[in-house]
Structure 1
Amino acid sequence: MAALTPLAAPGTATATVDIMLVDDHAIVRQGLRSILERERDLRVVGEASTAAEALAVIGRARPAVVLLDLKLSTSSDTEGLELCEELAAQHPQLAVLVLTTFLDEQLVLRAVQAGARGYVVKDVDMTGLVRAIRDVARGESAFDARSAAAIIRGLKAPPAGDDKKLTPRECEVLGLLARGLSNRDIGRRLYISETTAKFHVGNILRKLGVTRRAEAVYEASKMGFI
């Protein structure tokens, strides 16, 4: 997968970071593209407005960084998180940087758990955003001051009692798991890769505190998930 072009020698052109924008508002993507491409080392190579479109475009755009909004539709508040999980599973070397209007300690923690390397709020100044993009492209993490504070609050907070709550996608996977389907068959049914299906199954086992698929189905039935 393409990441950064080789570091340039002194006096030559700098390395370029290829970026993909994932946001359901075209005007936001246009504004970001216009601003980011003023930087000599940043280049927008793709755009998407939905999770499905992002997964389709990313294969040919081959970005190093995905700038991802968490809310990609009015019907779901978790679609961006689910996309982040799929990107992390299918493209582990890809740097996902969340850029969103939502700032909640549990949401920030969930984004990190889903594989995001950074989290910034949309009213961040452009200097901070550009710095965050460069940081995650180098393999570092990047959080603005408020996101970092939210993570600390979330880590210090007592369990909210919903740490076993499954996402809508995990509930779909669990339903197929209960029918005895393999990871490959689950992937085919849900139009996701076998690796992504395995990732979701692993999350389900972890949340339910079990190690085997049959145990997960049993625990889920007791808890009313299925």
Structure 2
Amino acid sequence: MASLGTRDERVIVERDTLQSRNGFPGVQGGDGPAVIEQRDPILIRTNRIVIIDRRQLVGRCLAASLREADKDTVFEVFPDIESWKRQTPFAAANVVVLCRPDGNLSETEWAEITRELALLQGEVDAPPVAVISDGENLDQIVRTIKLGVKGYIPTTTSVDIALQALQLVQAGGVYIPAECLFPLLASIKVEEPVEAGEDEIFSPRQLCVARALRKGTPNKIIAYELNMCESTVKVHVRNIMKKLKAKNRTEVAYLTNKYFLREDSSLASVKAPAA
């Protein structure tokens, strides 16, 4: 009789035999939970995701698809929370996935989800929970997240993205599909700010001072050219800075550029209005 080789090789042979015997890669047969791949716990540290789906065939197909993309994780399928808690130590799961086939959940379904979450969240070291559903309604997603669910994965999601979403949930994050948020973003109207003209934001005297500031004219010269006291110029400068939320005269010169772009260059020299 040929030797089976090393201990690692024997585990691989036993695993492959199990897979071929059941005709479904990596899924345990019998009446127990669907287990994706049997591994020697001494060889590796097990990462386990528990799938709760009363549709056993669908649940097993989901587990098999996830297993094909992530061979380092054990996926188990149970029809309900109670079955899982009877057969598996509660703390063994890294993430629990609740499968809800209905696109629009009825109040009965919501009550069932609330009950299941209460069973999960009432335990010490309870694992994070994700929901897989046919529905992509934003209100339903928000309501699910408010219940304490950390991830909402539509069944239209690819296997790779679903796995990444579960990894995010396991790491402590929250997953909501971006495409489900697009209708909300589209409904938000962003109004473009209407810029006031120079005659609306500044008084005639302030306009004259602002023009002078753009040229870097000192307060004393501005006062002389505009025939006003230097202290009055300072008051105008202070009010202009306040309206523009500018920190200094340089910012005033920069921020007022847009108010004078339409002026002819011949008007660059400041002229005082009639007293």
Query: How does the TM-score come out when normalised to structure 1?
Result: 0.52
Residue 23 in structure 1 maps to residue 85 in structure 2:
no
Contact 1:128 1:144 in 2 (8 A): no
User: For the aligned residues, what is the CA RMSD?
Assistant: 3.2
The alpha carbon displacement at 1:30 in A equals: 1.2
2:108 counterpart SS class: coil
Task: Tell me the residue number matched to 1:47.
Answer: 77
- Give secondary structure in 2 for the equivalent of 1:66: strand
In structure 2, the residue matched to 1:66 is: 96
Aligned-pair identity (%): 16
Matches within 5 A, 1:1-226: 16-38=46-68, 39-44=70-75, 46-57=76-87, 59=89, 62-70=92-100, 76-78=108-110, 79-91=112-124, 93-149=126-182
For residue 90 of structure 1, give the secondary structure of its aligned residue in structure 2. coil
Cα separation, partners in 2 of 1:89 and 1:60, compared to 1, 3 Å: closer
Deviation at 1:83, TM superposition (A): 0.9
CA distance in 2, matches of 1:105, 1:92: 29
* Rounded Cα–Cα distance in structure 1 between residues aligned with 2:182 and 2:57: 30
CA deviation after TM superposition for structure 1 residue 112, in Å: 1.2
**Tell me, which stretches of 5 or more residues in structure 1 are unaligned?**
1-12, 157-226
Question: What is the alpha-carbon distance in structure 1 between the residues aligned to residue 83 and residue 64 of structure 2?
Answer: 21
Work out which of the two has the higher radius of gyration on C-alpha atoms and give 1 or 2: 2
Q: Measure, in 1, the Cα distance between the counterparts of 2:56 and 2:108.
A: 18
Distance, in Å, in 2 between the alignment partners of 1:95 and 1:127 is: 19
TM-score, length basis structure 2: 0.43
Distance 2:135 2:124 in 1: 25
1:104 Cα offset (Å): 2.4
- Tell me the distance in 1 between the aligned counterparts of 2:178 and 2:132: 14
1:41 maps to amino acid: D
Deviation of 1:62 (Å): 2.0
**Mean CA deviation greater in 27-36 or 57-66:** 57-66
Seen in structure 2, the aligned counterparts of structure 1 residues 30 and 61 have a Cα distance that, compared at 3 Å, is farther
Corresponding pairs, count: 140
91-100 vs 124-133, greater mean Cα deviation: 91-100
Structure 2 gap ranges (5+): 1-42, 189-275
**In the superposition, relative to structure 1, how do residues 58 and 123 fare at CA in structure 2: closer, same or farther (>3 Å)?**
farther
Equivalents in 1 of 2:84, 2:145: separation in Å? 19
